[in-house]
């Protein structure tokens, strides 16, 4: 880095270990055009777009090379439905998990997962989808 005020490039798994052939985690969703095998990134400013807003561009950018997991903004079963419809292979539920843990320990976490599963199943039924394979972008309203 020549300029001390210059922001360094995010380290990648490839740059850290060129021989690494493990699947790579993709983050840095705030700028879909820069999505690569980064170790850090994300929505660290409140003026950046929500994860769900840039999900389609991220899915397009990675073009099936890695599964896309959504982490951020998932609070209801309808959020899960929208993420899957827009190309996510899975969603992560960090904040709801922590809320459940704080409110009721392991039983609270189980309840959060149960509620999300029921809401997701209901959202699938309300959109006429019987399986994950049937979920597509047409369910996004």
Domain boundaries, the chain: 24-139
Query: pLDDT (tens digit, 0 to 9) for every residue of the chain, 141 residues total?
Result: 455 444 445 444 444 444 445 454 445 555 555 555 443 445 555 677 788 888 999 899 888 888 999 888 899 999 999 999 999 999 999 899 999 999 999 999 999 999 999 999 999 999 999 999 999 999 997
Contact 135, 81 (CB under 8 A): yes
Q: CB under 8 Å to 32, separation ≥6 — which residues? A: 54, 57, 58, 60, 61
3-state secondary structure of 90: strand
Other Cβ atoms less than 10 A from the Cβ of 94: the count is 10
Query: What pLDDT, on a 0 to 100 scale, did the predictor assign at position 123?
Result: 97
User: Yes or no: is domain 24-139 CATH 3.30.470.20?
Assistant: no
Phi-psi sector, 3: left (phi>0), alpha (psi -120 to 50), beta? beta
Query: What pLDDT, on a 0 to 100 scale, did the predictor assign at position 73?
Result: 87
Strand (E) or helix (H) holding 106: helix 94-126
Measured distance between the N- and C-terminal CA atoms of the chain, rounded to whole angstroms: 46
| Alpha-carbon distances of 1 from 4, 5, 6, 18, 37, rounded to whole Å | 7, 9, 7, 21, 21
For the question of whether the overall pTM of this predicted structure is more than 0.85, the answer is no
Phi-psi sector, 104: left (phi>0), alpha (psi -120 to 50), beta? alpha
Query: What pLDDT, on a 0 to 100 scale, did the predictor assign at position 45?
Result: 59
Query: What pLDDT, on a 0 to 100 scale, did the predictor assign at position 30?
Result: 53
């Amino acid at each position: 880095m020549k300029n001390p005020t210059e922001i360094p490039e995010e380290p990648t798994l490839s740059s850290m270990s060129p021989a690494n052939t493990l699947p790579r985690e993709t983050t840095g969703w705030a700028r879909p055009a820069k999505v690569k095998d980064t170790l850090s990134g994300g929505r660290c400013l409140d003026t950046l777009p929500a994860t769900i807003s840039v999900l389609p561009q991220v899915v397009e950018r990675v073009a099936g090379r890695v599964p896309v997991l959504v982490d951020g903004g998932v609070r209801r079963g309808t959020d899960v439905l929208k993420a899957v419809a827009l190309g996510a292979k899975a969603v992560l539920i960090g904040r709801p998990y922590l809320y459940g843990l704080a409110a009721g320990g392991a039983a609270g976490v189980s309840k959060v997962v149960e509620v999300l599963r029921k809401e997701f199943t209901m959202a699938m039924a309300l959109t006429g989808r019987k399986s994950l394979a049937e979920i597509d972008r047409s369910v996004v309203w």
